[in-house]
Structure 1
Amino acid sequence: MSHTSLSRFTAVTPLRATVAAWRGAGDRVVLVPTMGALHAGHLTLMARAKALGERVVASIFVNPTQFGPTEDFSQYPRDTEADLRLLAEAGVDAAYLPEVSEMYPAHFSTRIEVGGVTEGLCGAYRPGHFSGVATVVTKLLNQVQPDLALFGEKDFQQLLVIRRAVRDLDLPVEIQGVPTLREADGLALSSRNRYLDAEARARAPRLHAVLSDIAAGLADGAEAGPLLKQGRAELAAAGFDPVQYLEVRDAETLAPMERATRPARVLAAAYLGRTRLIDNVPVG
């Protein structure tokens, strides 16, 4: 069934009232949290949300607490009107666009720290990042009160951090990951891809190619060490500098793995010029 046009909310109270009415009518409500700068990858999340529930809420909030002091918060791409057009075209029911003062009112002093899955990988290079993510996502889930929330698998460590926070805090919401959408040449869609110049954009698909080669080797029973060493060399040759990490981890706990005896992921973060790219692929 189709619904009326996109509703916009900037405050929690009217949004909650609307969601409560939907749920009271028996509608399943799906939340897709975003930081805006929407692209086709986000739109696959919206389409998946529409397939899984009667009502879809998309949030747009560039969260200051998950950016480090040297990171690109002020430069992070923002185009709210274009984002709202895309959400309306995608059939989203409500857009939630809180101001920073709505999310973090004066004297806000609570942070959520998740252990275990935050350690290593991006956690090692972005101190405080996952605390910012866990805090804002917990707030969004509490504010919107959806039945289900969707997150892209491109930020795989983030997905596991959110799953852990939801489980540990008994939040009454289901978390689902959605596979990464890619360009035809394999590059994972990302709002930060717009920072790549033509030469860097031509080199960027090597990241996915290297991850896929390592995953194939692991699926054939090879050990991780030699595959990762060769992968690092290939990324360096393609101009990735620095390669922050290239690792094989357990797909549920993120514990390091030498052989893919359980579901595993190959994960990487590396710079092309000034642009930090992350990606991951499942093994098998």
Structure 2
Amino acid sequence: MQTITTVSELRNAIRVWRLAGESIAFVPTMGNLHEGHLKLVEVARGKAARVVVSIFVNPAQFGVGEDFETYPRSEREDQDKLHAVGTDLLFLPAVSEVYAIDAKTVVTVTGLSDLYCGASRPGHFKGVATVVCKLFNMVQPDIALFGLKDFQQLTIIQIMVRDLNIPVEIIGVETVREASGLAMSSRNSYLTAEQRAIAPKLYKALCAARAAILAGHRSYAEIEHNAGLFLQESGFQTDYFCVCRSRDLKKAETGDGNLVLLAAAKLGKTRLIDNIRFSIPNK
């Protein structure tokens, strides 16, 4: 596995592969890799001749008072994990390599970026869209893979690629969960032992809401309210719990068949997100 830190080195490596007619898959990450990240690499290996992974903790997607400085970083361990799963190239740039000191350009997907996580973290998705667009320009992959746990993020990236005519196929990969049902996340390392016992209840709330809808309940506001109460009683501070249409993340209505349940809640200082996508069978 090559590990490189500059855009010029990256482009030289990509050029060699392109001249050989090889396809390229890209997995952007912020490091502190877990089994969910490695699943992305595994899927990528089956879809392209070469796999590029980036590790870059993007300052532009962290707000004031968020955990940019304390975000878990484990570069040595990450490199070992990526080497073991057959990554061809690790791109490990410094902030100064990604952002010019006088950068004036940002990418924003209007509307959707201000909902859900965007409402709680103003500017977050502007930072995500900007860095992903830049990384796509640097790597110029054929396909890019993202975890479905960050469903709003994935939707925003899909819209950005469509609107800007970026020639990258976006592939979403199913969420990898712990045995308890807790979605794997780099931020799970913040949880105390007591909190880790409570954290799976976020997924339990999603499963209960899905079961209620599939059983015929269509009062989505009531389902959202009950889920919020359950999370609050379990020790969470609920940010949002929403029944949405999966295609555009707008609030679901009774006639909608393809749904996604989006949830975010704090447990202590740790913010957890999760979702479940499903379809209502035709009667």
Pick the TM interval, shorter chain: over 0.9
State whether structure 2 residue 46 is matched by structure 1 residue 55.
no
Partner of 1:137: 132
One-letter identity of the residue aligned with 1:278: I
Shift, 1:24, TM fit: 2.4
Aligned partner (choices 212, 217, 230) of residue 217 of structure 1: 212
The 5-angstrom pairing of residues 27-176 of structure 1 reads 27-176=22-171
TM-score (norm 2): 0.96
Partner of 1:11: 6
State whether structure 2 residue 34 is matched by structure 1 residue 20.
no
Contact 1:218/1:283, CA 8 A, preserved across alignment = no
One-letter identity of the residue aligned with 1:181: V
Contact 1:180/1:189, CA 8 A, preserved across alignment = yes
**Unaligned residue ranges in structure 2 (runs of 5+):** none
**Aligned-residue CA RMSD in angstroms?**
1.1
Greater mean alpha carbon deviation, residues 252-261 or residues 84-93: 252-261
One-letter identity of the residue aligned with 1:17: N
Shift, 1:111, TM fit: 0.5
Shift, 1:233, TM fit: 1.2
Number of aligned pairs?
278
Contact 1:111/1:135, CA 8 A, preserved across alignment = yes
Partner of 2:259: 264
Distance 2:253 2:243 in 1: 7
Q: How far does the alpha carbon of each residue in 1:29-69 deviate from its partner, in whole angstroms, 9 at most, with x for none? A: 00000000001110101100101111000000000000001
Shift, 1:260, TM fit: 6.2
State whether structure 2 residue 208 is matched by structure 1 residue 184.
no
How many percent of aligned residue pairs carry the same amino acid? 49
SS at match of 1:118: helix
Shift, 1:261, TM fit: 1.8
Contact 2:27/2:145, CA 8 A, preserved across alignment = yes
State whether structure 2 residue 242 is matched by structure 1 residue 240.
no
Large movers: runs of 4+ above 4 Å = none
One-letter identity of the residue aligned with 1:252: R
Distance 1:213 1:229 in 2: 13
Contact 2:245/2:256, CA 8 A, preserved across alignment = no
Partner of 1:226: 222
Distance 2:208 2:23 in 1: 40
Distance 1:139 1:252 in 2: 25
